[in-house]
Structure 1
């Protein structure tokens, strides 16, 4: 089949028809046709030739050309597509390496096999262009809600027609035991769009917390306008959810705006989520206050926050315990997800028992170590003293406020406490030496004998060993394993060494060993200060 004048325009008509059907650029189809014709010509003239085809975008005329490139004599490999400077002189004036000689060749008659090959090239190119179009269209829609029509269900996964492509709603992204039939309309959240070899893959979700946030944005104009902001969402899909909101306009109640007149707005979201119960909670910067709100409808008596461990203890009345925990721990689990904190719930009786136990332990410590009677030891604990260090090194005035304590008694208390601490230090130092701790570690400023003993017991016996430790290995920390926070015990954690203090100790050790140049640290600090100043100037400029 030769490309004659009779079917030249037909090429363009075919390209336009395919482009309209697949909703892609007609130019891409024409380029695919040019490549397919060039392949057919190579099969006719020889695969080693550089044959190129150009189709006129107005007339549809296909021009076949052969291209030969001028190369160095010692680089000539393909005699059909390359030629030397000497050979090029018969075609070009003053040829140079890199010049090309283009000559038109007769169109080819395409046999059945060549025509089939050309068809496959066109189809492949069109398919690739269609995939690129789909990816470009949906990649920017990730994080939004889309409406689609159910096409079929495969092994629990729902294939959804989203207009210009197909998307998949996986079994674990459906709410509860949702089931759909062909033709059902469905609303989903576009969770991810990936470019894969088989084409763009669009993954949908109805269980994502962001799905609920987007639904509220559609139902509540104040959220869409930015007057109300959704700060956090926690869901147990199909059962219960909590959403924290804040209003930037004092005249607008964020909770009331989300609920709507007679609950119309929240009810629309509930209906879409298969009856999922939703608690709308006012967000607060103060974490304990926010947590009290998040545990609603349970009443909270007391909250104790451990910011470093990102844990929080909540004390509730006995009759509120089951309500605070919720069925199968649902309420406290959602509150934990909403606040990002690990929550320990206890009753007032349990809290009282724990505090009584701590009181007794501290009383016994002072009775044993300082040789005090029970009443006097209890006085110290009642005044807030928790350990011997506080008694030994506190200002004398703080001891004199205790009933029955004069200056002589206070001095005697501090002397006894210091004697005990010194004895403990000597014992710890002897034990550390027995374990092999070297003087470089023992004499290192910032480490007490008790700390050195704890390090030696764990195999850290030299300053070099100490300098290789990570800050979290010393101060402890928290890691997330399978979605649960797990405590990492630090070697110096019993001595209340913070993460910042551990970082300082390790860096000081590295500097003393010559591993780190202090000048480099100063440069880094200056760079950080410069960045902070630049950020402040930019913020002022924006303001």
Structure 2
């Protein structure tokens, strides 16, 4: 029987390409199952096979439980600790004690049971092997053959009996594949599922575009050129930002290739998707200007606090700058990471004039100065009382016509105005009354509702949008109570 065991292990390991240890474990499980069935499942068993000789031993085993535990089912599978200490003085509940028992013959075990267990173990091992292999290939572009199309999802055969799926949402617009077509796609995700490994691929991901350029442009693979970012309107248009690590190299020219051959190869693979290659720049404003091509930006205003840029173009170029259905501005926004607002020069001038008037009025009222001085502050880039109050005096002294006396006076007036505004805000908050739905919320006290209203949380909806930590900072409440209160406030969401 020992030789028969070793022969089965050898044959199945070679046929399935699975580690012998997996087969040994499968046979042990099958023998243990058959042993339990031969005793009508009245006992639990464990089988141990010698990996070198094929000999095997069978052990009856009991799971140790505490003395006061009531055992209602599978009585023969458990042993109370007071009885188990006779076999092992150091045994603890949850551990096992066992003793040798007669083994059943390998050739006489339930053949079907053994076969099923072995096949199941082998399949699990094969699936795990596939997952381990393809997890390493996430981020690569692979080629597969269309096996079938299921409700718009494309099932690819990657070879070696491995399938992958391109969900309909990850296909390029208007793409149609038929059985037998060879398709390239980007490996997006690999996971292990009970029914087998699942390999998700994409042709719509921007990473697909980046990887195609790495294939077509050797300089990228050699780290002479870096792709800094990419944005896609799938199937229609894309933008790619590149930079050269060698100043002698033209990154755009290298990516376009001789007579446009390289970029055309990428376009052809992406079903005709037009690709703009733009030069990345460490200066954000210049990068945005490059990203807006082919439209030419005539002026730009940057709000670093809000991470927003206003762009002005000639009136006749406005539609081109925005693009069809906002395509150009949307891609430039995604490529640069800045929120971009594009407008005509005349609109930019009107907006700038309106904002300047508001700022001039702010300084005239807040600092008690005349219009001429307020205009100087706006022209020098000041936009708020906070800037006037806290910008270093040395910077303000560089403004023509400003001396220490003027700067000191302006700073003091700005701080006084800010203090007055803060006191007014506090008084307004202190007088704030909570809404009825907040006051009537189960678990809410009048004191808590008043405290929340003073901090701007006046309604049940306001409370529902808070996190537990935020609520604990506003009022004296423990974490559990805060969580319960927020859940009650969110109850209407689920209704």
Q: Which residue of 2 aligns with 1:530?
A: none
Match status 1:53 vs 2:51: no
Match status 1:117 vs 2:88: no
Describe the shift of the 1:466–1:381 C-alpha distance in structure 2 as closer, same or farther (beyond 3 A): farther
> For 2:125 and 2:256, how far apart are their aligned partners in 1?
46
In the TM superposition, what is the alpha-carbon distance from 1:102 to its structure 2 partner?
2.8
2:424 aligns with one of 432, 439, 453: 453
Q: Which residue of 2 aligns with 1:129?
A: 125
Deviation string, structure 1 residues 498-520 (Cα, Å, up to 9, x no partner): xxxxxxxx9xxx9xx999xxxxx
> For 1:156 and 1:83, how far apart are their aligned partners in 2?
58
> For 1:236 and 1:391, how far apart are their aligned partners in 2?
40
Q: How many residues align?
A: 431
Q: Is the contact made by 1:455 and 1:461 (CA closer than 8 Å) also made in structure 2?
A: no
Q: Which residue of 1 aligns with 2:222?
A: 225
1:105 aligns with one of 103, 107, 122: 103
Q: Is the contact made by 2:62 and 2:77 (CA closer than 8 Å) also made in structure 1?
A: no
1:270 aligns with one of 235, 242, 267: 267
Match status 1:153 vs 2:128: no
Q: Is the contact made by 1:40 and 1:110 (CA closer than 8 Å) also made in structure 2?
A: no
Match status 1:401 vs 2:401: yes
2:198 aligns with one of 170, 185, 201: 201
Greater CA drift, 355-364 or 229-238? 355-364
> For 1:388 and 1:287, how far apart are their aligned partners in 2?
24
Match status 1:65 vs 2:37: no
Larger radius of gyration: 1
Q: Which residue of 2 aligns with 1:211?
A: 208
Describe the shift of the 1:180–1:381 C-alpha distance in structure 2 as closer, same or farther (beyond 3 A): same
In the TM superposition, what is the alpha-carbon distance from 1:120 to its structure 2 partner?
2.1
> For 2:271 and 2:251, how far apart are their aligned partners in 1?
24
Q: CA RMSD in A?
A: 4.7
Q: Is the contact made by 1:71 and 1:97 (CA closer than 8 Å) also made in structure 2?
A: no
> For 2:254 and 2:50, how far apart are their aligned partners in 1?
61
> TM-score scaled to structure 2, two decimals?
0.72
Greater CA drift, 9-18 or 307-316? 9-18
1:259 aligns with one of 256, 260, 271: 256
Q: Is the contact made by 1:228 and 1:248 (CA closer than 8 Å) also made in structure 2?
A: yes
Match status 1:28 vs 2:38: no
Alignment of 1:261-300 (within 5 A): 261-300=258-297
Describe the shift of the 1:321–1:59 C-alpha distance in structure 2 as closer, same or farther (beyond 3 A): same
SS at match of 2:333: helix
> For 2:326 and 2:84, how far apart are their aligned partners in 1?
86
> For 1:388 and 1:124, how far apart are their aligned partners in 2?
71
Q: Is the contact made by 1:70 and 1:85 (CA closer than 8 Å) also made in structure 2?
A: no
Deviation string, structure 1 residues 376-427 (Cα, Å, up to 9, x no partner): 735752564778969998999889839xxx999x89xx79x96x998xx6xx
SS at match of 1:448: helix
Which runs of no fewer than 5 residues in structure 2 stay unpaired? 92-96, 434-447, 458-464, 478-495
Alignment of 1:90-489 (within 5 A): 96=89, 101-107=99-105, 110=108, 114-164=110-160, 165-361=162-358, 377=371, 380-381=374-375, 384=378, 401=401, 448-458=419-429
> For 1:307 and 1:234, how far apart are their aligned partners in 2?
22
Q: Is the contact made by 1:291 and 1:339 (CA closer than 8 Å) also made in structure 2?
A: yes
